[in-house]
Amino acid sequence: MTTLFISDIHLTAERPDMTAALLAFLQGEARQADALYVLGDLFEFWIGDDDPNPLHQELAEAFAALPRAGVPLYFVHGNRDFLLGQAYARRAGMTLLSDPTLINLYGERTLVMHGDSLCTLDAAYQRFRRITGWPWLRWLFLRLPLTRRQRIAKKLRGNSQKESAYKSQAIMDVTQDAVEALMREQGATLLIHGHTHRPATHDFTLDGQAVRRIVLGDWFEQGSVLVCRPGEAHLERRPLPSL
């Protein structure tokens, strides 16, 4: 009995080693799991389900093999791929989940989410997140010509990299108050998220009860997988191939 969690892979054609590592994971270890949860930022950016990028099709086929083998596949949107829609999800065999979603993980009330909404000290980012969540703006963007969307995405990526260079690490991390408020509201004893690229397990006490927050890692230098079994959870690394 094993449930797997991954996030922040940021797939792009410029990093074939990350793609190869993920494909090996999907074709091997993931096939033996009870379920696989992908908690956002699977792709470096997403400009619409109609993007003919060959990488997207390759991954859709690899993911779709999991539910055909009896392994449920769940996806939570990240801040890089929040426009991933039902059309692609159907091709990839994914079930889209809201952010956050409360699940029963081997008897434990567990919240799964991307994690960016918990970075409440980053006021500029939270404002951007609210704006990009407007349904009419998403509708309008997805109806722009593909080349126009690609230019916009490239500009946004550049702006994000510049902003990250001068923001403090504390501002870009989650805040404990936001974590506790959400876990208390949902009655959860375990929170699993990504986004911050700071893999770790944080144990603390909430209203007199022992609880945990597990942060998933990115796949820039090695794969990062949370392996959960009844009564245990381990963050594990997976090597990237040399191509």
Task: Name 97's bridge partners.
Answer: 76
The pLDDT tens digits of the residues spanning 33-58 come to 999 999 999 999 999 999 999 999 99
In this structure, whether the domain defined by 3-239 belongs to CATH 1.10.3720.10 is answered with no
**Which residues are part of a known binding site?**
8, 10, 41, 79-80, 114, 122, 160, 167, 195, 197
Q: How far apart are CA 95 and CA 213, in angstroms?
A: 24
The pLDDT tens digits of the residues spanning 107-160 come to 999 999 999 999 998 888 899 899 989 999 999 999 999 999 999 988 887 776
| Angle at which helices 54-68 and 16-27 cross, to 10° | 10
Domain ranges of the chain: 3-239
pTM here? Answer: 0.94
The pLDDT tens digits of the residues spanning 66-110 come to 999 999 999 999 999 999 999 999 999 999 999 999 999 999 999
The answer to whether the beta carbons of residues 111 and 194 sit under 8 Å apart is no
The answer to whether the beta carbons of residues 79 and 197 sit under 8 Å apart is no
**Which residues are part of a known binding site for substrate?**
79-80, 122, 160, 167, 195
Maximum pairwise Cα distance, the chain: 54
**Which residues are part of a known binding site for Mn(2+)?**
8, 10, 41, 79, 114, 195, 197
Show Cβ contacts of residue 169 under 8 Å, excluding neighbours closer than 6 positions.
none
Would you mind telling me the total number of residues written for the chain in this entry? 243
